[in-house]
Structure 1
Amino acid sequence: MAGNDVQFAPIRTFQDYLLGSARFGLPDYQNKEKWNYRIVNNLLYYQTNYMISALVIFLIVGYVRPYEMILGGILVGGTFAGTLYVASNSRAEIRDFKRKYPGVVIGMIITVSTMLMYALGSVLVFIFGIALPMFCILLHASLRMRNLKNKVNNKVESVGLKTTPMGILMKAMDQEF
């Protein structure tokens, strides 16, 4: 396999992820560096489990409130697609504005999407469907104490982890692991 291929980390057992061998404890809130190190290493070690958990939670919220989730997704996606279409098929001034102020364009997309979803009553459901999985992942990553297997696997896989989805994200955010 080439060195640039993105690979998925293995799925960790449910026993290791949540049950028997899993140990949970509050992080040392005074030592932000150690807490950050715990989160980053857990995000890398359990990344496939986190992706599956996020998908399951998102699908549960979508099952409970399907209309709001679909409508919210269509509005956000439609607004984003509409903005990209206008920007790509417009005059040079708009393209220059997009290039110079990408944060403003993203802010406009979020603002218009939020206003549309709020007007239709689906903003909270859609945000909940996205925020709840992220909250659960960060909660687990913060509270899950690393065991010897976790530490050894992180060291052994550290070279390969840089080509996993979470490794690429952590590298883009300048997080050391």
Structure 2
Amino acid sequence: MAAVQPVPQSSSAHDAFRGQVGALYSDHHGWLLGWLRKKIGCSHRAADLSHDTFLRLLAREEPVVLQEPRAFLTTVAQRVLANHWRREQIEKAYLEALAQAPQALAPSPEERAVLLETLIQIDRLLEGLPAQAKRAFLMAQLDGMGQAEIAAELGISVSTVKRHLVRAGAQCYFALTLD
């Protein structure tokens, strides 16, 4: 989970904003928790995702004007839930890859956690790219494949591989400079 960034506002505006989120929490947390529980079937995970939804609201830089608070919370929670599911998919693929590796090369639990978080961050950085561009970038960066190898594996030209790598690299660079 990403750290919550402070909201750059004056102290009184910040306090008013926190009060608004607090009121939203007290009025709708139970409803959101029930909605999430129905969606995923696990009360513990629903509680975590509900918490993440309100943390995301607190991390916003501008206050929200709500006419339909439950619709707004549903939208935010759906994004949190989508991120959760994507993270689960990445973790499952990572664990499957680890199971295929020789036991002697198995990372420690701490290294596994760091590697998984890194993979999730890379996935976020590449969000929005076409699947083929992501795959080409990952083949180059994680598998150490050359452009000709990637082109042969994906059935595309080397110039297309170059375009994919430049696009993915630029997206990562600019996403990192904005943080």
TM-score normalised over the length of structure 1: 0.23
Q: So what's the TM-score if we normalise by structure 2?
A: 0.22
Identify, as 1 or 2, the structure richer in helix: 2
Higher relative contact order (CA 8 A, sep 6+): 1
